[in-house]
Amino acid sequence: MEHLPRFVGLDVHKHYVMVAALDATQHLVLTPRKIPMERFAEWARTQLTTADQVVREATTNAWELYDLLAPLVAHVKVAHPLLIKLISSARVKTDTRDTLHLARLLQAGLIPEVWVPPQPVRELRLLIAHRQRLVRQRVQACNRLQSVLHAHNLVPPTAKPASQEWQAWWESLEMPAVERLRVQHDAAILQQMDTLLEAVEKALYRLSGQSPWAADMTFLMQLPGFGLVNSMTLLAAIGDISRFATASKLVGYRGLGASVHASGQT
């Protein structure tokens, strides 16, 4: 049985998905309805057809749902949420309005589509983002310890803050019990962050020698200022460089969920 194409808009939330569909003449063929997230996979497999086109905005779980939907329909588009917001003129936003708006833009060919990264790029971006979170936690702990030093006019040893020398030095200081506890906890956080960051960088090193990164890493590591972390961060942000028509397109690129700027620590 041949199915007529439908243009399906998905407004994805944490616990449910709002669904609506239009036909080629923008007539409503699937009235807006709320599908609980735990039932959405079953609904998609039974209700969508290989003639359908589907659109959803890029959010945290965009790629997981993309992988679910791609084999079931003719095409899945992931829309840039900020550009969708600019296109939309609705003053009153509801789930129903947002879903129908996505479906109408899809039928009209006006979806500002984002690039869907393949699995290796997604994994590298997740690892880079995880490292950046760890670095932020380490910096926060360092800043708290620095504030204690400043408050008491203390000059620390020249060793690294997470070293045993620092630990012994902190223990030798006279300070209130509550502040000592805070110092002990922040020092422990520094040690833990160093251990976790070392594990992340080992994972980055392992990935850097594998496809699709190995060839580009051989080139990038020869450039001044490009260590392991900076190089892998850049590759994670760019993904497939052939998708950029010109160098200026690449330079002006700001991707979703990936930052070209590394933490500054290699």
Rounded CA-CA distance 123/207 in Å is 10
pTM: 0.80
- Strand-pairing partners, residue 7, are 22, 53
pLDDT tens digits in sequence order for the chain, 266 residues long: 678 899 999 999 999 999 999 999 999 999 999 999 999 999 999 999 999 999 999 887 789 999 999 999 999 999 998 888 767 665 557 889 889 999 999 999 999 999 999 999 999 999 999 999 999 999 999 999 888 888 888 888 777 777 778 778 888 888 888 888 998 899 899 999 999 999 999 999 999 999 999 999 999 999 999 999 999 999 999 998 888 888 888 887 765 444 444 433 43
pLDDT tens readout for residues 98-108: 899 999 999 99
Domains, the chain, in order of start with CATH, read 7-107 (3.30.420.40), 119-251 (no CATH)
Q: How does pLDDT run across 15-29, given as a tens digit for each residue?
A: 999 999 999 999 999
